[in-house]
Amino acid sequence: MNLDEVVTEVAERLSASVVLVDRAFSLIAYSTQSPGVDKDRVQSILARSCPPDARAWYESFGIADTTRPVVTPENPDIEASARICLPARYAGTAYGYLFVLPDESSNVTERDLTAAMSLAGQAGAELAHTSRGRDHMAVAVADLLEGDRKAFARALPRIEDSGLFPDGCALTVLAVDGLLPAPGTRTLLAPIGSLTAVLVPAAAGAVDPVRSIAESGAGAGSLVGVGGSTQGLRSARRSWQQAKIAVRVARHDNSIGPIAYWEELGIYRLSSCGPAGLLAEAVLTPSVRALLDHRNIDLLVTAQTYLDQAGDTGATAGVLGIHRQTLYYRLAKIEEITGLDLSVGAQRLELHVGLTLGRFIFEHLRTEETRSGAET
C-alpha cells in the first residue's frame, strides 16, 4: 500500500479529512474524503502547521515520541483547529505524522484509532525507506550544485542513476526561501544554507511542474527563485545560481515575487556578471553615491519614482502624491547633489542603474559581511 492509499484508507475508516506530513512537516499526501476540504484548504491547513511556533505547539504534545494517537486542541493563536495526530513510526522513530480532521458528523472510536495506527505504521515504514534514499540524494544534489570538482564528479552519476534526468534533458532549478510542501516524486531536493534547492526535469503535458512547485511554495508563504531552463545536469549549477539571485531580488524588491523568474528580472540579471564588489564599484558611481550618502529619503524615493516613471513628471507627482512644484524642487536638488543632468538620457540611465541595481548589490554585500562576522 503506497502513501496515497494509506491516507485514503485512514480517511475512509475515520470519515475524516487526513493530511500526511513528513517529520519536517512538509506535505506528502492528503485525502479528498471531505468535499469541503480541497487542495487549497489542505495547503492552508499545512502552512498553519509549519511555522516554528506552530510546529513547537504540536511537538509539545510528545507526538515525536508517543506510540499512541494524540488529540491536539484548537489553538486560535496559530489558527489551528482541533485534530488527531497519528505518528507514522518505523523502528522506533517517527518519520511523519497523519493529521486527522474529523467531520462534524463522524464518531471516531478507540477501535477506529487502533486500526488507523496500524496504517500509520505502514506509512512510517514507507517514509523511512524513502527518507534514507532522499537523504543520500540530497547530498548528491548539494554536491552537484555547490560542491568542488571531485564532489561534482561523484554526484553526477548518482543523480543520473535516478532516471529522472536522461542525458541532455532540459531541467530547471528552483531556490525556495521558506516552507515547501512536498513537490512529488519527479524532483530532487536538497537543503543548501537557508534555501531549499529543487531540481525539476522538463515534462511534456498541460501542467507545468516548475510553475506548480513555485506556486505551492509561494502559497505556503515562501519566496521562490526560478532559474533559467538548461540542458543537462552539467549545466544545472548555472540555473541554481540564477535561482539564488532571483530569490535575493524577491527579498529586496517587493514588486517582484513571491515568485521571481530569472527570465523576468531585467536589469537585476547584471548582478550575475561578476564579483559583487566589482559590480558595486562599477554601478555606484560618485554621482550615485553622493545621493545615497545624502540620506534624504524623500529625494531617494523621488529619484527612484521619477526614473521608474520614465521621467514623466505628471505620473511621478501622482504616484508620490505631491504638487508638481514640489517635484520640480526635489529634482533640481537631486541634480545639484549628483551633478547629473536628468534631461540627458545617459545620465538618467546612470542614476537609474545605480539606484536600482547598486542598492541591491550593496545590500547583498552588507548581508554577506554580517554573516561572515557572525561566523567568526
Q: What is the mean pLDDT of residues 22-51?
A: 59
pLDDT of residue 220: 82
User: Could you report how far apart the first and last alpha carbons of the chain are, in Å?
Assistant: 50
pLDDT of residue 376: 47
CATH topology for 3-130 is Beta-Lactamase (3.30.450)
Give 32's contacts (C-beta < 8 A, 6+ positions apart): 11, 38
Give 374's contacts (C-beta < 8 A, 6+ positions apart): none
- Amino acid letter, 375: E
Q: Band of the pLDDT at 50, cuts 50, 70, 90?
A: low
pTM above 0.85, yes or no: no
Partnered with residue 55 across adjacent β-strands are none
Report d(CA 117, CA 69) in Å as an integer. Answer: 7
Report the chain's mean pLDDT, rounded to a whole number: 84
**Is the pLDDT assigned to residue 243 strictly greater than 90?**
yes
Partnered with residue 172 across adjacent β-strands are 200
**Residue range(s) occupied by CATH 3.30.450.30 in the chain:** 3-130
pLDDT of residue 37: 45
Q: What is the mean pLDDT of residues 239-263?
A: 90
Give 277: exposed, middle or buried? Use CB within 10 Å, 0-12, 13-18, 19+: exposed
253-311 pLDDT tens trace = 888 879 999 999 888 888 777 676 777 778 888 998 899 888 889 999 999 999 999 99
Q: In the chain, pLDDT over 70 holds for what percent of residues?
A: 86
Angle between helices 110-146 and 149-160 (to 10 degrees): 130
Q: Which residue has the cell 564528479?
A: 153
**Rg (the chain; Cα; Å):** 26
**Is the pLDDT assigned to residue 207 strictly greater than 80?**
no
**Is the pLDDT assigned to residue 370 strictly greater than 60?**
no
Tell me how far CA of residue 172 lies from CA of 222, 244, 321, in angstroms: 18, 12, 42
**Is the pLDDT assigned to residue 55 strictly greater than 60?**
yes
